[in-house]
């Protein structure tokens, strides 16, 4: 049975200034071998597990190209996404116009409808949040570029509409992704149960992307009775363990762990040291990533 919030919104304190900035908690020294993909196991009934192994074939060094940077839009919808995908395939690893190395990290976002995928993407890229719901029709994509020493890193973020009629566009979102965010709404348990199928289908198109399990709307979830919070938190932990995925609870409206999601993606992609403190207590926004 799904939980429906009946109490007024809980005033969740914002993170201290500077806590969620773009590079806080990341050592600014990319791994010389480039992207690091850790293949996870299949989620068989939410509980499959296997010993952690390092597979050299899962390491990928982006190719360096001499072609000039390709100009592409910051966001798009449905058909334009196909052109952006082709641009992404051509531009990853190319030098930028200022002579610095340029790497594109593609991040896919999948999950049921109305869970906050687009809101989280817009919050990360533009720093804004709109409480009005706008349904994603097909695929949305946005980009954000950060700098680490002599390297410009562009997050190319792909958001798939959660309606089942858009599942045929899943390859567009998952293919070549360095990381996939498997997202669910903390206030609707059915969206967490759906993660099994999203994981199965997403892994069918990309077996080496870094998996991240993201729970949204923590600002509402925190109002749930403690026993309900514990039940959902424990189920999310089990899924994350089976997926060998980091687990992060977030709130777009209150800026909780939004930036940290992409810091953790960056640290895992480049094998960087990440010093973001983990949070593992029920009743707080869980953030677990070091043991995967």
- What are the tokens at 62? 């982006």
Other Cβ atoms within 10 Å of 236 Cβ, number: 23
- Provide, rounded to the nearest whole percent, the portion of the chain with pLDDT above 70: 61
- What are the tokens at 150? 């002599």
In a domain, 25, yes or no: no
| Beta-carbon contacts of residue 85 (< 8 Å; ≥ 6 apart) | 172, 175
- What are the tokens at 281? 């207590």
In a domain, 268, yes or no: yes
d(CA 17, CA 136): 32
* pLDDT at 229 > cutoff 90: yes
In a domain, 194, yes or no: yes
In a domain, 271, yes or no: yes
In a domain, 158, yes or no: yes
Closest by alpha carbon to 102, among 37, 140, 57, 155? 155
Total tally of structural domains belonging to the chain: 1
pLDDT tens string 149-178: 889 999 999 998 856 666 788 999 999 999
Burial class (CB in 10 A: 0-12, 13-18, 19+), 284: middle
pTM > 0.85: no
Closest by alpha carbon to 279, among 262, 257, 258? 257
Other Cβ atoms within 10 Å of 58 Cβ, number: 15
Q: Structural domain of residue 156, as residue ranges?
A: 35-48+56-288
In a domain, 22, yes or no: no
Q: What is the mean pLDDT of residues 116-135?
A: 80
Burial class (CB in 10 A: 0-12, 13-18, 19+), 45: exposed
What's 230's domain CATH number? 3.40.50.300
Q: How many alpha carbons fall within 13 Å on the CB side of residue 43?
A: 28
Out of 49-53, 101-105, 230-234, least confident range: 49-53
H-helix segments, 76-137:
79-91, 117-126
Q: How would residue 23 be classed by pLDDT, with cut points 50, 70 and 90?
A: low
d(CA 42, CA 63): 29
pLDDT tens string 58-114: 333 333 333 333 233 333 333 444 444 444 444 455 555 667 799 999 999 999 999
In a domain, 10, yes or no: no
| 151 bridge partner residues | 101, 148
- What are the tokens at 242? 């089976």
pLDDT tens string 272-291: 999 999 999 999 999 999 98
Closest by alpha carbon to 249, among 269, 232, 268? 232
Q: What is the DSSP secondary-structure string of 209-261?
A: SEEEEEEE-HHHHTTS-HHHHHHHHHHHHHHHHHHT-EEEE-BTTTTBSHHHH
Report which of residues 99 and 20 the model is more confident about.
99
In a domain, 245, yes or no: yes
């Amino acid at each position: 049975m799904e939980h429906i919030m009946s109490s007024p919104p809980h005033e969740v304190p914002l993170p201290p200034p500077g806590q969620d900035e773009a590079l806080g908690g990341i050592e600014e020294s990319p791994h010389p071998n480039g992207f690091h993909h850790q293949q996870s196991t299949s989620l068989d009934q939410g509980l499959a597990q296997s010993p952690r192994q390092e597979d050299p074939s899962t390491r990928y060094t982006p190719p360096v190209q001499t072609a000039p940077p390709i100009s592409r839009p910051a966001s798009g919808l449905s058909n334009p996404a196909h052109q952006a995908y082709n641009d992404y395939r051509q531009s990853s690893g190319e030098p930028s116009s200022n002579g610095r190395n340029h790497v594109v990290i593609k991040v896919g976002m999948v999950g049921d409808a109305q869970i906050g995928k687009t809101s989280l993407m817009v919050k990360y890229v533009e720093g804004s949040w709109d409480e009005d719901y706008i349904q994603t029709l097909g695929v949305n994509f946005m980009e954000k570029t950060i700098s680490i020493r002599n390297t410009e890193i562009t997050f190319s973020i792909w958001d798939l509409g959660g309606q089942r009629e858009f599942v045929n566009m899943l390859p567009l979102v998952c293919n070549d992704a360095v990381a996939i965010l498997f997202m669910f709404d903390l206030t609707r348990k059915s969206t967490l149960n759906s993660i099994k199928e999203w994981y199965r289908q997403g892994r069918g198109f990309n077996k080496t992307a870094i998996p991240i399990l993201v729970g949204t709307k923590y600002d509402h979830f925190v109002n749930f009775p403690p026993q309900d919070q514990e039940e959902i938190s424990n189920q999310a932990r089990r899924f994350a363990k089976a997926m060998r995925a980091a687990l992060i609870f977030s709130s777009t409206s209150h800026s909780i762990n939004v930036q940290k999601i992409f810091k953790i993606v960056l640290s895992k992609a480049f094998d960087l040291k990440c010093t973001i403190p983990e949070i593992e207590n029920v009743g707080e926004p869980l953030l677990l990533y070091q043991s995967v």
